[in-house]
Chains A and B, each alone.
Chain A
Amino acid sequence: MAEASYKECSLLLECPKCSVLNYMDPFSFWNFKGKTKCAGCDAVFAIGYSNGQRVEGPSPAQGAPDKLPGYAQTKDYKTDFTATGKVSPPLYARAPDQKHGPTYKSIRGKLVAAGKLTATDLIGSRPRFIMEGKPYKPAT
């Protein structure tokens, strides 16, 4: 039996309209039949998954989506369009205002990279401030 290409059956949905990569997180979509929305162009699709395999769609649909993708990015790794309403918020065990914030110091006061960074904060894959041993200062 010929097997389908991963592009036709995986949890990764490449939007046929705008090419944004939508990640259908397995917690929500492992067994799912309904509508979802591309985080890039808001196009609504009917789609079906069974045991993590796409078995239906994506076919154009109308109306509100049942679930949003867990995450999305462009092919050149841009994610800044995924504001509220574009992707599902993460599942939180406690409310976001009770969560730990980012930190750049460990509990004993030394440098640790436990907060968001930007491309200019990096040298290769390593945080610049860790390499240089200097306190973190966000790029202006």
Chain B
Amino acid sequence: MATPSFEEYCRDTFDPKKIFSKPEPLKGKRFLSCTQYILGPSCANYLAELGAEVIKIELPRRGEPMRHTTPFNEPKLYPLSRWLPEMGTGLGFFGANHNEYFLSVDFHKPEGQAIVRMLANKSDGMVENYRAGTFDRWGIGYRQLSQTNPRIIYQWLGGFGGWGPGRKRASYDILGQAQGGCFSVTGWPADKGGLPSKQTIWIMDYWGGMMGTFQMLACMYWRDNISGLGNFMEYSQVQGAQRHLSDCIALFGRHGLVPQRWGNWDTLLSVHGIVKCGKSSYPNSKNPQELEQGYILVSAYKDDDFAKLMKFIKKDDLAKKFATHEERVKAESQYEIYAALEDWAKDKTKEQARELLDKQGINNQPVWNSKEVSNTEHFHMRGELEWLDDPTFGDLQSQGPSFHLSESPPRHKWAFKPVGADNEYILGKLCGFSKTKMAEMEADAVI
């Protein structure tokens, strides 16, 4: 039998339909997630995608704040809990709480703190992102929990860290991007308005969560293979943001230069930016954004690609004038080059521009919206977008796990659950509480 091609091998090896017949790499590990918003929850989410038993602990009644932080206060998934069926969870919560078990406990109360201690004694680790020192003050921080479970891996994530001048401030993704320096190099140069721009997706939260998971896996290796001991990890969101600044920090340190914003073009390469196309792809749409002109990324920064692109748009003079990288990448050169490209694209949709550039072998990609992403066969075929038959909420389109493993792949079993949906399961299994005991705790608003 002929050896399959690499493409055939990958298609079979990573087939999304086979995921649930393969083992989970973290099965048997248990983590507590005392988290809110995205930074902490996404860290725990990634562990749960890899098969760990993750128990999300929220305050009773309303749950964590992200359940009530939904885009435009619009679509929600119901019920919020069995006690509040007329309320729902906002879609801001979606995407950072997959596969978890949901327990409600009031951390403020001594009885609630006792539950956290009982669960921590039977867990491999814990993730929390309350303000620095809050859980320590409540007697359920690393210092206290490691007294009875010295193997516990405790991941704290927050804005500024547990020490240092900024430690008392609260942070969000947007603040992390601001203090970390990301906004200063994102947005428009002075002659185009000069506005810095934020990244709309919570990139510093999800990045921080992934870094937290990475650290926890390293700590598990160190504990299980070397030391036998747990670890206390501190992740500062603003530090994570500035970690992205790459050449900007080095440039200032070496030459004292402060990098400027350069919009949708690139300071290192040319052509390597976003070009406006003059025609909408959806001229009859009711959506104002779809009525706008389209945009397309064009990348042709090597000498031969640039010459080919300029020749194609009938600008041979620019090909000669900016024949070298050194000439092309200058600011004044880019103004001339991109103006010529937008003049070429002014009577085209982004799809028409793509078709023409593809024929020339010029690297390009139309700027897609979430509808266009959702309709992309590539993502669905590879399981990176999926229709999840969620046992609680039904038919949900969801992002799949962000990476593939051949032997022990990550997976999504459910999107999330209502507040306190697993109270009986978790408290019965791990704390040995009777139904009567749980009913009493519920009446006292401990759970």
- Chain B residue numbers with a CB within 8 Å of A51 are 170
B76 at the interface (CB under 8 A from A): yes
Check: B248 CB closer than 8 A to any chain A CB: no
User: B393, A75: Cβ atoms under 8 Å?
Assistant: no
A105 to B394, CA, bound (A): 9
The yes or no answer to A3 lying at the interface (CB within 8 A) is yes
What is the minimal beta-carbon distance from B427 to any residue of chain A, in angstroms?
A: 14
A122 within 8 A of partner (CB): yes
A117 on the interface (CB 8 Å rule)? yes
- Let me know if B73 is at the binding interface, CB within 8 A: yes
* Cβ-closest chain A residue relative to B392: A126
Pairwise interchain contact A118-B86, C-beta atoms closer than 8 A: yes
Contacts known (A92-B73, A119-B85, A130-B392); A125 close to B108, Cβ less than 8 A? no
Q: Given A114-B75, A125-B418 in contact, is the A130-B393 Cβ separation under 8 Å? A: yes
Contact between chains at A111 and B394 (CB < 8 Å): yes
A100 touches B84 (CB 8 A): no
Q: Determine if A100 and B394 form an interchain contact, defined as CB atoms under 8 angstroms apart.
A: no
Q: A126-B421, A127-B393 are in contact. List 7 more A-B contacts (CB 8 A).
A: A77-B84, A107-B397, A113-B392, A115-B78, A118-B85, A130-B392, A131-B391
Known pairs A100-B75, A127-B78; A113 contacts B417 (CB<8 A)? no
Known: A23-B62, A99-B72, A113-B392. A79 touches B77 (CB 8 A): no
> Which residues of A are found within 8 Å of B84, using beta-carbon distances?
73, 77, 79
- Tell whether, in the assembled complex, residue B73 and residue A116 are in contact, meaning their CB atoms are under 8 Å apart: no
Contact B394 A125 (CB under 8 A): no
The answer to the question of B8 belonging to the interface, with a C-beta cut-off of 8 Å to chain A, is no
**What are 29 A-B pairs at a CB distance below 8 A?**
A51-B170, A71-B62, A73-B84, A77-B83, A77-B84, A79-B84, A90-B73, A92-B73, A93-B71, A100-B74, A103-B75, A107-B397, A112-B393, A112-B396, A113-B392, A113-B393, A113-B394, A114-B75, A116-B87, A122-B79, A124-B82, A124-B421, A125-B417, A125-B420, A125-B421, A126-B392, A126-B421, A130-B393, A131-B391
- On chain A, the residues within 8 Å of B170 by CB distance are 51
A110 engages B395 (CB within 8 Å): yes
Tell me if A64 is interfacial: C-beta within 8 Å of chain B.
no
A109: min CB distance to chain B, Å: 8
Q: Which residues of A contact B61 (CB under 8 A)?
A: 21, 73, 77
Q: Which residues of A contact B (CB under 8 A)?
A: 3, 6, 10, 21, 23, 26, 51, 71, 73, 75, 77, 79, 90-94, 99-100, 103, 105-108, 110-119, 121-122, 124-127, 130-131
Q: Mark interface residues in B71-103 (1 if CB within 8 Å of A CB, else 0).
A: 111111111011111111000000000000000
Whether B82 contacts A117 by the Cβ 8 Å rule is: no
CA distance A10 to B107 in the complex (A): 13
Bound together, the chains give a CA A46 to CA B81 distance in angstroms of 32
Residue B445, interface by CB 8 Å: yes
* Closest CB in chain B relative to A108 CB, distance in Å: 7
Query: Which of B81, B87, B395, B396 is the most central at the interface, judged by chain A CB atoms within 10 Å of its CB?
Result: B395
Binding site for A on B (CB under 8 A): 61-62, 65, 71-79, 81-88, 108, 137, 170, 387, 391-397, 417-418, 420-421, 445
Contact among B74, B137, B391 for A126, CB-based, below 8 A: B391
CB-contact partner of A79 in B86, B392, B397, under 8 A: B86
Q: What residues on B are CB-neighbors of A108 within 8 Å? A: 387, 395
Q: Which of B73, B87, B395, B420 contacts A91 (CB 8 A)?
A: B73
- Which residues on A sit within 8 Å (CB–CB) of B393? 112-114, 127, 130
Interface pair B394/A106, CB less than 8 Å apart: yes
Residues of B within 8 A of A79 (CB): 84, 86-87
Contact B78 A117 (CB under 8 A): yes
What chain A residues lie within 8 Å of B445 (beta carbons)?
75
- Which residues from A are CB-within-8-Å of B108? 6, 10
- Highest count of chain B CB atoms <10 Å: which of A99, A106, A125: A125
Report whether A93 and B77 are in contact in the complex, using a CB–CB cutoff of 8 Å: no
Smallest CB-CB separation from B391: which chain A residue?
Answer: A126
Instruction: List chain A residues, Cβ under 8 A from B83.
Output: 77
**Contact (Cβ within 8 A) A113 B72:** no
Q: What residues of A have a CB within 8 angstroms of the CB of B75 in the complex?
A: 100, 103, 114
Complex alpha-carbon distance, A4 and B82, angstroms: 32
The contact of B395 among A73, A99, A106, A118, by CB within 8 Å, is: A106
Residues of chain B lying within 8 A (CB to CB) of residue A107: 397
Query: How many whole Å from A131's CB to the nearest CB in chain B?
Result: 8
Set of chain B residues within 8 Å of A90, measured between Cβ atoms? 73
- Complex: A110 Cα to B394 Cα, angstroms: 8
Which of B62, B79, B108 has the most A CB atoms < 10 Å from its CB?
B79
Query: Closest approach, in angstroms, between the C-beta of B17 and any C-beta of chain A?
Result: 19
Distance in angstroms between the alpha carbons of A114 and B88 in the assembled complex: 8
Contacts of A124 in B (CB 8 A): 82, 421
Residues in B neighbouring A106, C-beta threshold 8 A: 394-397
A103: chain B residues within 8 A (beta carbon): 75
In the complex the two chains form, what is the Cα distance from A60 to B88 in whole Å?
34
Whether B417 lies near A116 (C-beta < 8 A) is: no
Q: Which of B74, B83, B108, B387 has the most CB of A within 10 A?
A: B74
Tell me which residues across on chain B come within 8 A of A75, comparing CB atoms: 445
Chain A minimum-CB-distance residue to B418: A125
